[in-house]
Structure 1
Amino acid sequence: MNNTSATNVIEKFSEWQKELGKAEGTVKTYVGILEKFQAWLHEKDSSLNQISANDVQLYMNHLEEQQKSAGTIEKYLAAISVFSRYLGRSEIITGIHKKEKIKDTDIPDSLEETEEKRLLLEVELEGNLRNIAIVYTLLYTGIRISELCALNVEDIEINNKKGTLFVKNNKGELERIIPLSKEVTNHLKKYIYSLSTNQSALFVSNAHKRISTRAVQYMLQKYNVNPHKLRHTFCQKLINKGIDIQTVAKLAGHKDINVTKRYASALEPNLKNAIDRAFS
C-alpha cells in the first residue's frame, strides 16, 4: 500500500471515530500517532493495512530506543489498539511488551508468605495438574501471563530434578532463560507427562486449544489472586533474599531497571531498623 492508500485508511478511521462520538482532540491525537506509525512502517516496506503483531512490537521497541517515556509509549499503543479494532484485527496487539509506566513511590502488591502457602495448598488440593503447573510457573518464574500462554512444550527442558524455562518473543527468538526450582520442575514434569504426545502448546484449554490470558485470569480468580500479583511476589522474594537488582531485572525481563528498583523500596524501613538495632 502506498502513502496515498495509507492516508485514505487513516481518514476513514478518523471518520469512524467521529461517528462514534469521540472527542475531536482524541481523534486528532490518534491520527497523529497513526501517521507517525505509517511513516515508520513505510521505511520498513510495510503499511497500516498489513501490520502484524511483530510490527507493533518492533515499533514499541523503536519508541523505547528513542527514549520515549512510558506514558507516551502507552498512548501510542492505545491508539494502535483502537485502530486494530477498526480493522477487525485486535489480535495484533495481543501480548505486546512495552515500557512499564511507574511512579517512583509505587511498591507492587505481592503475597505474604502465609498467603503464598495458602494459595499453593488450595490449588494442590484441587488436584488439577494444569492449574497447579500454571500457578507454580507464574509464582516461581515471574513470567508475564502473555509469556505463559505462549509457552510450548519444547520451551521447558527437564533433566532429572533440574529444569529450565526458555522465554521467547513473538518472532520465536530467545529472550531470556529462567532456571526452574525443584518444586516447579516437579509439577511441570507431572503435567507434561499427562499431555498428548502431539501437543505443541504447553498449556491448553478444555477445548484442547492454546489457553488464553482471559482463561488463566478467570482460573486464578478462584484463589483471589491475579497474574500480576504472582509476578510481583516472585520479584519481591528475590529482592528480600538479597539478590541484586540487575539479576532480578534479567530474570523478570525488565528492560527498565527502575521497574525493578520499586521492589527494593519495600526494604528501606528494614534497613533503617537494622542500623538502629546495630548502632543505637
Structure 2
Amino acid sequence: MLDEFIIEGLRGKSVATVKTYRHALQQFSLWLDGCGTTLEHFSRTDVQQYVTYMACKKKTAATINKVYSAIKKFCRWAKKLDCIEEVHIIKAPDYKQTAPKALDKLERKRLEREVNRSGNKRDYAIVMTLLHTGLRVSELVALDRSDVDLSERKGELRVMSGKGNKARKLPLDVDARWAINKYLEERTDDNEALFISNRDKRISVRSVQHLLEQHDIHTHQLRHTFITGLVRANEDIAVIQSLSGHNSADMILRYSKPTEEDKLRAVERLYKD
C-alpha cells in the first residue's frame, strides 16, 4: 500500500520529498504494527497516539509536523479523512519569523581557507559552488559537466532538477569559475557527473554533508549564507527568488530577520560613542 501511495500519491514530487514521506510512513507503519494494526486499518486514535508518542520521545515540533504532513497526505490519498479530523498537533515555531543560520564573514573565510589548504580541488570546487550559487546539495550532486559553461570572462550553471522540478540558470562569478575549472583540469575520466567520489561515481549528498561536517558546518548554512548576503546587499527580491529557486517571497523575507548575533552586536554597540 505504501508503494502504491508513493507512485500515485506523490507523482511529480521531488526525490527529497518522496524520500522524506517514505521514511515517515515506514516509521508510522512499524509503530502501527507494534499496536496490532496496519496502514490499511489504523484509526484516528492511532494517529493521535502516535503524535503523542513522538512528543514523549522528545521529537521537535518541526519533526512531528513533518511526519504528520506525510500522514495527512497518505490519509487523503487512501480516503481515510476521518483519521486526521481534530488531531491535536504541537504547534511548530513560525520559521518565517526567524533568520536561517548563515556563516558570518570570518566563518566563511575560514572555511574557504581550510578547504583550499587541504589541496583537494574537488572539495574546494564544491564549497565555492555552494557558497557562490546558493544551490541545494541535492541540486549540486545532480549536476553534469554539460550543465556548466565556463570561459575566462563569464560562466553559467544550469540546474535541471531543482525543487519542484523547475529548471533555472545561475551565473558563476570568477571565484567559482576558477575553482571548478581547476578541478576539471585534473579529471581524466569520462564520467558525465560534475562532481565524482573517490570511486569515480557521482558524489552523494551524504559525502558532501560529511565534507562540511569536518569543518563543523551544516550544508544548509552555505545556501543560507548566499541568500542572506543577497538580502543584506538590498538586491531586488525578484532577483533573489530567481537565483535561489524559492517560489515564495515570504521565504526570502526570512533572511532579513535579525539573528541573535545581530541583536547582540546592536546591544554591544549601544552607548559606545
Question: Residue 211 of structure 1 aligns to which amino acid in structure 2?
Answer: I
Q: C-alpha offsets along residues 161-188 of structure 1, whole Å, 9 cap, x if unaligned?
A: 31111001279x7611100110000010
Q: Which residue of 1 aligns with 2:32?
A: 18
Q: Which residue of 1 aligns with 2:187?
A: 195
CA–CA distance in 1 between the matches of 2:247 and 2:162? 16
Count of residue pairs brought into register by the alignment: 204
Q: Is the 8 A contact 2:138 2:205 kept in 1?
A: yes
Q: Is the 8 A contact 2:102 2:224 kept in 1?
A: yes
Q: Is the 8 A contact 2:139 2:162 kept in 1?
A: no
CA–CA distance in 2 between the matches of 1:248 and 1:74? 30
Change in 2 beyond 3 A, CA 1:207/1:18: same
Alpha-carbon shift at residue 192 of structure 1 (Å) = 1.3
Verify: 1:249 aligned to 2:241, yes or no. Answer: yes
Verify: 1:233 aligned to 2:225, yes or no. Answer: yes
Change in 2 beyond 3 A, CA 1:248/1:15: closer
Q: Is the 8 A contact 1:130 1:203 kept in 2?
A: yes
Alpha-carbon shift at residue 75 of structure 1 (Å) = 4.2
Alpha-carbon shift at residue 106 of structure 1 (Å) = 1.1
Q: Which residue of 1 aligns with 2:175?
A: 183
Q: C-alpha offsets along residues 26-82 of structure 1, whole Å, 9 cap, x if unaligned?
A: 9557x99xxxxxxxxxxxxxxxxxxxxxxxxxxxxxxxxxxxxxx98874447789x
TM-score (norm 1): 0.62
Q: Is the 8 A contact 1:204 1:210 kept in 2?
A: yes
Alpha-carbon shift at residue 258 of structure 1 (Å) = 0.7
Q: Is the 8 A contact 1:140 1:180 kept in 2?
A: yes
TM-score (norm 2): 0.64
Q: Which residue of 2 aligns with 1:91?
A: none
Question: Residue 18 of structure 1 aligns to which amino acid in structure 2?
Answer: L
Q: Is the 8 A contact 1:105 1:262 kept in 2?
A: yes
Alpha-carbon shift at residue 104 of structure 1 (Å) = 2.6
Structure 2's unaligned 5+ residue stretches are 6-25, 48-63, 75-92, 267-273
Q: Is the 8 A contact 1:102 1:259 kept in 2?
A: no
CA–CA distance in 2 between the matches of 1:75 and 1:21? 18
Verify: 1:168 aligned to 2:182, yes or no. Answer: no
Q: Is the 8 A contact 1:166 1:174 kept in 2?
A: no
Verify: 1:262 aligned to 2:248, yes or no. Answer: no
Alignment of 1:28-177 (within 5 A): 28=43, 75-77=68-70, 103-169=95-161, 175-177=167-169
SS in 2 for 1:164: strand
Larger RCO, structure (CA 8 Å, separation 6 or more): 2
CA–CA distance in 2 between the matches of 1:73 and 1:209? 32
Alpha-carbon shift at residue 19 of structure 1 (Å) = 2.0
Question: Residue 105 of structure 1 aligns to which amino acid in structure 2?
Answer: Q
- RMSD over equivalenced CA pairs, Å: 3.8
Question: Residue 223 of structure 1 aligns to which amino acid in structure 2?
Answer: H
Question: Residue 19 of structure 1 aligns to which amino acid in structure 2?
Answer: D
Change in 2 beyond 3 A, CA 1:202/1:105: same
Q: C-alpha offsets along residues 130-168 of structure 1, whole Å, 9 cap, x if unaligned?
A: 000000011110000000010111111102231111001
Q: Which residue of 2 aligns with 1:51?
A: none
CA–CA distance in 2 between the matches of 1:244 and 1:167? 21
CA–CA distance in 2 between the matches of 1:155 and 1:15? 40
Change in 2 beyond 3 A, CA 1:28/1:198: farther
SS in 2 for 1:117: helix
Deviating beyond 3 angstroms after TM superposition, the runs of 4 or more aligned structure 1 residues are 13-17, 20-29, 71-81
